[in-house]
Amino acid sequence: MRAEVRATMLDMTLIIALSAAFVLGVEHAFEPDHVVAVSTIVAQSRGLVKSIVTGSLWGLGHTVALLIAGIIVILLRVQFPTGISTVFETIVGFMLVILGIWAIINVRKNRLHFHVHAHDGKTHVHLHSHRETESHDHKHLPFSVGVVHGLAGSGALVILVMSTMVDIRQGLFFIIAFGGGSILAMSMISSALSLPLTFGGKLSTWLGTLFSTGAGILSLILGILVVFRFF
């Protein structure tokens, strides 16, 4: 009887731990550097489905990085250097700067302008952009960004928690639950960011330009702050 009670308590403890990991994963996705980085990519990939895929790939890359690091910690009992998180945070900062510059360059390349022409004796003015209708999707980009984010900031804390777990299965379930929360949350964030661009009608072009410009500038500023430890 005592063994059954003990087993039930262990199961409940595991369920609570996995639920907490999932919630932490959701909260983790809302960190400013994560949202800003993904927003620069979402701004370049129009469409609700593409935006959801972008967020999911970021979460998948994030989870894969934590899984690999976690397995190394649990199986080999390797302790990562205390400064490794700081190194990856610096890399994240430079990555944000690059993403910001990339977004701003794309805005310049696809700049808006007016075309004036006449039909049936009437003059028409059309807003036009050189953005390609069939854009080339860089699916590796959000995945790679997620991998880098995986070992920076609070992601390092997840690895620290895993190092205290004796059972590798519990550690893997913890990371999977955490990753599931991150994937779900970032998919929701990226889809929400794309809604005005997807359903904005005639304003979509203007909104896209403003969104890309704002995301690029914000990513550039945040990246500089992270690199110089102001954030």
Q: How far apart are CA 18 and CA 25, in angstroms?
A: 10
pLDDT for 196 equals 81
Mention every residue, 6+ apart, whose C-beta is less than 8 A from residue 154: 24, 28, 31
Q: What is the 3 state secondary structure string of the chain?
A: CHHHHHHHHHHHHHHHHHHHHHHHHHHHHCCHHHHHHHHHHHCCCCCHHHHHHHHHHHHHHHHHHHHHHHHHHHHHCCCCCCCHHHHHHHHHHHHHHHHHHHHHHHHHHCCEEEEEEEECCEEEEEEEECCCCCCCCCCHHHHHHHHHHHCCCHHHHHHHHHHCCCCHHHHHHHHHHHHHHHHHHHHHHHHHHHHHHHHCHHHHHHHHHHHHHHHHHHHHHHHHHHHCCCC
Domain ranges for the chain, please list them: 14-110+139-227
The pLDDT assigned to 183 comes to 95
Q: Tens digits of per-residue pLDDT, 7-56? A: 565 567 778 888 888 998 898 899 899 999 999 998 877 688 889 999 99
Task: Report the chain's terminal Cα–Cα distance, integer Å.
Answer: 53
Q: What percent of the chain has pLDDT over 70?
A: 71
Mean pLDDT (the chain, rounded): 78
- The string of pLDDT tens digits covering residues 120-152 is 555 544 444 545 444 445 668 899 999 888 877
pLDDT of residue 36: 93
The token pair that represents 80 in the structure block: 């990562």
State pLDDT tens for residues 174-217. Answer: 888 999 999 999 999 999 988 887 776 667 777 788 888 999 99
Closest CA to 36 of 190, 166, 167: 190
